[in-house]
Amino acid sequence: MNAPDRYERFVVPEGMKKVAYERDMKIMNAATFTIQREDHTIGNVIRMQLHRDPSVLFAGYRLPHPLQYKLVIKIQTTSQSSPMQAYNLAVTDLDKELDHLKQVFQEEIAQKQSEYY
Amino acid sequence: MDTVTSYTRFPTVRIRELKDDYIKFELKDTDPSIANALRRIMIAEVPTLAIDLVEIETNSSVLNDEFLSHRLGLIPLKSERAMEMRLSRDCDACDGDGSCMYCSVEFTLNVKCTSDQTLDVTSHDLISSDPSVVPVDNNLAQDINGFDAPEARGILIVKLRRGQELKLRAIARKGIGKDHAKWSPAATVAFQFEPEIHINEALMESLSLEEKKEWVDSCPTKVFEVDPQTQQVVVVDAEAYTYDEEILKKAEAMGKTGLVDIISRDDSFIFTVESTGAIQASQMFINAIEILKTKLDAVRLSFDTEEADDQFGELGAHMRGGGM
């Protein structure tokens, strides 16, 4: 009776921004990103990639409640970089890594299939 | 602006087995979070086609309408077209009722049992309006006489008795597993961390042959073996190790702690992907990578969010009163 529609888990409603940014008032170079309608699938991946950046002092993600379909990522960087820069860099690097993975996989498939014939 | 540094990894792939609906491969030099993300996407977010709306004209079978519709929804349909198709709710070509050719495929089913024998209504009786989207049939084997093997009958939907009839029209739409499990293309997707086994040779030498055999047998799966010629314990199948610690406990019980050291490498994974037949297993993995890239694109910060930030954005600098 109170259950939300299933597509609520992945459809962002009209007027809502997918990514919201909020600067942390009390800590220098820290910000919180709220991503709507996403879950551990990209949360963990972005967090892992942020950890590889030496200018990132703190990076973590959480899902505040399992019935609220949003993801909160908190980033703190050194003064050399900014949370936004670190976030964008992480997303760009992941994009490149996935491009590479796709290419390698397709080559392997093509090679394996040619072995059959 | 300082130099753009990059922390990209370059994963490698080696395929062990490749079949139409099954693939086993090794993925190296990447992180567990990426492996897990791809696994989650393959199960829940790779789109396929499945019957979503059923209009029943006649149903005198023993199963009621909604039971039948549920079964029809679970039939896997060949969904190579699914990635290019639009979702029904986003489609503007039809008038919002989600039944135009760009976002849906229509099926009809029309059977009546006229003989005394029980008639099996199977997925073969579903007639599609698009020849590339048909129910999956895994049993197209032919027996030695060249006839279709008895199993090549398709997926059973309902059985009809003499006089019972079933006539319906069904519309299949694109969807993802997160919405309903009927849209999940994955039968099973699993990955394991590759184990690294180091045998302490010096300690191993201090065991007699019977003790070695006893120790090898204490492992529930066949990981080790005593080589008959050299009388040494060798690793026969490292991946069969299921991380139960029986051999470690046995070594302790024999007084030889540290006989073997097993660690799981956190950058090397062995993926096993099995699909229902809706999409080819290898294509499923490629689609999963595409979808992960699309998701990452969607969460990139928009330019105006960056600019409006009052600490780092340039617009913010203006608002603060000049900046530099």
Output the pLDDT for position B185.
Answer: 94
Whether the predicted pLDDT of B23 surpasses 80 = yes
Quick check: A97 and B9 CB within 8 A? yes
Once rounded to an integer, what is the mean pLDDT over residues B179-183?
Answer: 94
Which residue of B279, B284, B311, B319 to mutate against A (max A Cβ within 10 Å)?
A: B311
Output the pLDDT for position B237.
Answer: 84
- The Cα of A101 is separated from the nearest Cα of chain B by a number of Å equal to 6
**Tens digits of per-residue pLDDT, B46-73?**
999 999 999 999 999 999 999 999 999 9
* Stretch 25-84 of chain B: residues touching chain A, C-beta under 8 Å: 25, 30-31, 33-34, 36-37, 40-41, 45
CB A9 within 8 A of CB A41: no
What is the spatial order of strands in the sheet that B186-199 belongs to?
Answer: B12-18, B22-28, B260-275, B186-199
Quick check: A104 and B7 CB within 8 A? no
Task: Please tell me the pTM assigned to this model.
Answer: 0.86
Question: pLDDT-based confidence at B321, cuts 50/70/90?
Answer: low
Of A49, A87, A95, the CB nearest to B293: A95
User: How far is B10 from B12, CA to CA, in rounded Å?
Assistant: 7
**Tens digits of per-residue pLDDT, B208-224?**
888 888 888 888 888 88
Of B8, B180, B311, the CB nearest to A93: B8
Question: pLDDT-based confidence at B201, cuts 50/70/90?
Answer: confident
Once rounded to an integer, what is the mean pLDDT over residues B122-142?
Answer: 82
Query: Tokens 């399992």 identify what position?
Result: A66
Coil vs helix vs strand at A47? helix
CB B304 within 8 A of CB B316: no
**Tens digits of per-residue pLDDT, B93-103?**
776 666 777 78
- CATH 3.20.20.105 describes domain A6-116: no
Each domain of chain A, given as residue ranges in start order, spans 6-116
Q: Nearest-5° angle of CA B16, CA B19, CA B21? A: 120
Q: How many CB atoms lie within 10 A of CB A28?
A: 10
Structure tokens at A96: 């490149």
Enumerate residues 6+ apart whose C-beta is below 8 A from B157. B68, B71, B72, B75, B109, B121, B122, B123, B125
SS3 track for B154-216:
CCEEEEECCCCEEEEEEEEEEECCCCCHHHCCEEEEEEEEEEEEEECHHHHHCCCHHHHHHHH
Whether the predicted pLDDT of A71 surpasses 70 = yes
Chain B residues closer than 8 Å to A102 by CB: 286, 289-290
Question: pLDDT-based confidence at B206, cuts 50/70/90?
Answer: confident
Q: How many CB atoms lie within 10 A of CB B281?
A: 26
Coil vs helix vs strand at A43? helix
Output the pLDDT for position B261.
Answer: 85
Which residue of B1, B301, B314 to mutate against A (max A Cβ within 10 Å)?
A: B301
Chain A residues closer than 8 Å to B11 by CB: 97, 100-101, 104
Question: pLDDT-based confidence at B139, cuts 50/70/90?
Answer: low
> Does B171 touch chain A if contact means CB atoms closer than 8 Å?
no
CB A35 within 8 A of CB A74: no
SS3 track for A64-106:
CCCCCCEEEEEEEECCCCCHHHHHHHHHHHHHHHHHHHHHHHH
Each domain of chain B, given as residue ranges in start order, spans 49-182
CB A44 within 8 A of CB B35: no
Once rounded to an integer, what is the mean pLDDT over residues B204-208?
Answer: 81
Torsion of CA B237, B31, B271, B225, to 10 degrees: 0
Highest mean pLDDT among A9-18, B80-89, B257-266: A9-18
User: How far is B42 from B34, CA to CA, in rounded Å?
Assistant: 12
CATH architecture of the domain B49-182 equals: Beta Complex (2.170)
Question: pLDDT-based confidence at B254, cuts 50/70/90?
Answer: confident
Question: pLDDT-based confidence at B314, cuts 50/70/90?
Answer: low
Chain B residues closer than 8 Å to A98 by CB: 34, 289, 292-293, 296
CB A58 within 8 A of CB A76: yes
Closest residue, chain A, to B306 (C-alpha): A84
Whether the predicted pLDDT of B150 surpasses 80 = no
Of A41, A84, A85, the CB nearest to B41: A41
CB A42 within 8 A of CB B324: no
Mean pLDDT over the full length of chain B: 85
> Does B303 touch chain A if contact means CB atoms closer than 8 Å?
no
SS3 track for chain B:
CCCCCCCCCCCEEEEEEECCCEEEEEEECCCHHHHHHHHHHHHHCCCEEEEEEEEEEEECCCCCHHHHHHHHHCCCECCHHHHCCCCHHHCCCCCCCCCCCCCEEEEEEEEECCCCCCEEEEHHHCEECCCCCCECCCCCCECCCCCECCCCCCCEEEEECCCCEEEEEEEEEEECCCCCHHHCCEEEEEEEEEEEEEECHHHHHCCCHHHHHHHHHCCCCCCEEECCCCCCEEECCHHHCCCCCHHHHHHHHCCCCCCEEEEEEEEEEEEEEEECCCCCHHHHHHHHHHHHHHHHHHCCCCHHHHHHCCCCCHHHHHHHHCCC
